[in-house]
Structure 1
Amino acid sequence: MNGLLVMLDILRARRGPQDLPADPALAVFWTGVAVAVGLAIGVPMYGATAALVMNLVDVAVLFGFVALALRFQGFVGRQVQTFTAMVGTGAILGLLMALLTLVAPIDPEAGEAPPLAVLGMLLLLGWLLFVYGHILHQALELSNRMAGVVIALGFVLISSVITQGVAGAVTA
């Protein structure tokens, strides 16, 4: 329960990844939650196989990104905490997105979503960028949070391109 409270505080930028234990089991737990939530969102749109592959690739890209960013800055010892913070907060925000898609379902055939659902998704994306920026600001000891947000935006774009590329290969 304490881990959840820390995650909620990280989502509100009140705490950082350094407040999580460097516990690989906690990282595995939040990774499992993230994949499960990703499947809940992805299966209706892409099918089970593609959704599973996309979620596993997304987690792998996140893990690799965190490892490279921390290595580049010389903070390798922070990898477990930073990854756990990013995968955990992403899972919680993903859960909110899953709930949003239940309330306002996306029509996969038409590729459309209700306008309020789109607005909600954009707000969640903005929140994700802010939170990832906050985590990176703390973990990389950046001079300001906006630098973290810019790095987070780069990560989200790269991750999206890789994940969508894999989705195209899996569904082709």
Structure 2
Amino acid sequence: MKGERVRIFKERIGLEQRSFVGDDVNQIWNHLDSLIRGVAKDMLGITSWKIHDQKEAWWWNEDVQERVKVKQARFKELICCNEQEKFDTKKILYKATKRLAKRAVVEVKDKAYEEMYISLSTNEGANGIYKLTKARERRQRDLGFVIFIKDENARVLVKDDDIKCRWYHYFKQLFNASRISGEEIER
């Protein structure tokens, strides 16, 4: 929050605050907590904690959004339908709407990428190329993708066979530490 909203926030908290003389510290804390949360909730609203995984949605325009909403509405109608005859009709409508939405997405996406590549080919677009490469590098960083690891002696292992062997010994030691056994597993 900035500017006017900060002032309004402070005023609302000041108006709703009461005197705390003689109250228990826990009561004061709980009251202030509920007061601040309530005012913040009224001023800022509530967000759902759902994560919408729409990668690369920067190129979506109003037409695409509208067609996707219509497709989703048709799908909800299809799922809620109980009668077989209506279900078949709604399924045909849903498939047609789905095709139109896909076509709109492809057309807008192609146009957006074409414009992006044209802008990247200019001198001003050179910084955009660096931003794209950094973003791609960040996406490639993954815990499942290990380029190298270290062995017991802190020596870097780079070869795939050495890395697999290190993982083998690590997990063998990890899972068999509590078990006392004289058997050696042959590899």
Q: Would you say same fold, with TM above 0.5? A: no
Q: TM-score, normalised to structure 2's length?
A: 0.27
- Higher relative contact order by CA 8 Å / sep ≥ 6: 1 or 2? 1
TM-score, normalised by the number of residues in structure 1? 0.29
- Between Structure 1 and Structure 2, the one with more helix by share is 1
Task: Decide which structure has the larger Cα Rg and report it.
Answer: 2
